[in-house]
Structure 1
């Protein structure tokens, strides 16, 4: 058992007071735990079950040297390991189950996993907020104030900042998807020239948010994704395939492409088109050894009588709208098949 002493600031906010301090990562993971609502029968149990995929991501982020400027928020609950304080320091013993985690359980779990792989991570200094003896209601109030009232940054801004951040701290697939989305926005040939909505841009109806574009493109470009499976791994080839898809669709609409009732100028249509590329056109075009605009256009029977319009999906929720546009594309899919040969089975 190790005695820990750390300087602190006492902060009063409304009816509650907390201590703001810094502790090493190895101490934080030792003394803290998550009390899960519905599973743990104790005061202060407000956490959800851990998401293992998030933990692996945080572990990788930590090992890559990621920063943790936001405080881990704890509720000190141990009766035998009491939190002591003087005018300058707080002190306690390094004992397990001393403090519940109010906010930051995935960060703590990811950092713990990183320490198991690289012991020196344990010396990482973390900002920590410590409340003392809160009730379940108080823990819930604080959790909600952090996770509901203090909204995270818009996803479009996050994806936009990927172009500035250190390479080891960003998602390579999201960076590639962002590069393609920006190319669609900047290329004079692109049907989406000026139609990708970037952070800081003027608010308007229609257009495709950068976050929507990145999320839609990412399954195609990620590690072991659709493009890699057929050997298209460089940026220019991937960009051109996606551009050819939208040029083929634009050709079906002709001078009606720029009309606001064109479903593909809205988020659901954009996402559905890329889902169609991912699930149908990728294998079809690969089999024909051609991703040319003409190959794609020949396989999609859209014309004046069956163009997909925004009014057709008005009132549908995001997922349902995407599914409706995808189904309409599927109905229009007319693959030009070669004469069947013998298959090896």
Structure 2
């Protein structure tokens, strides 16, 4: 193990070495962090970013865009290389971060997982791809919990530059920033994505937009208005009813050869727009068991009277499609 300080930038660095850099301690509100500069190759060698797809329990970074990282590397290698914004890191236990030299020097162990990237992963991996080297401004937080790391990620990416709403919704639980409706919607969305009996199995995308899949943003916009239809506010009570309703609707779409339309955002929102009316008719006829067959009996009129093209090429407004379906329901309603 060697000790390498900031005055020896060209020294070979190996995993296990102790690195030292001049630093300043900054206090902002309730947070304290260190500011310093590090060689780009050293930074790339001791940082990591966990994507939601790789680790859905604790990860929260966006999936790395290789093209974007390569553009950063090319930018540096062409001699333009000035990227003044700071990389934001969270020191991990492997770093064994310490302040020495009367508080003016930061020492840490150079390990593969010394620092988690909170902000700037494309810049870091662009540095790794580049042939040239430069000093990079760095902000290091120490002693953060996973919840605090997630909350910091949200703060940076909502107050400085936007990230997909799908991702922010996906990590709100980690940051302990959900309200009651958001928590319930998350549980329902997760159930639709995990239950083998769900009509949406394999058709949900928790943290990003994906063609042919339902995102949390679309799901929440569709389902949140119907939550008030239920006296109970637990996912264990609400989910079976919504699952059976959606199964019945999916079966109807399959009959008219429009099953792929279930993931169309307009269609999906229109489906839940009419849920209170359909559910009321089910209760009137069959009680509150909410079986799939009960929903299917009510929905039959929709697929008999609404042209398949309305589902395959829906209007822009979910309310327009919902209006067509409600009209079909009413025209087919017979007392007795």
The TM-score bracket by the shorter chain reads: 0.3 to 0.5
TM-score (structure 1 length as normaliser): 0.45
TM-score (structure 2 length as normaliser): 0.46
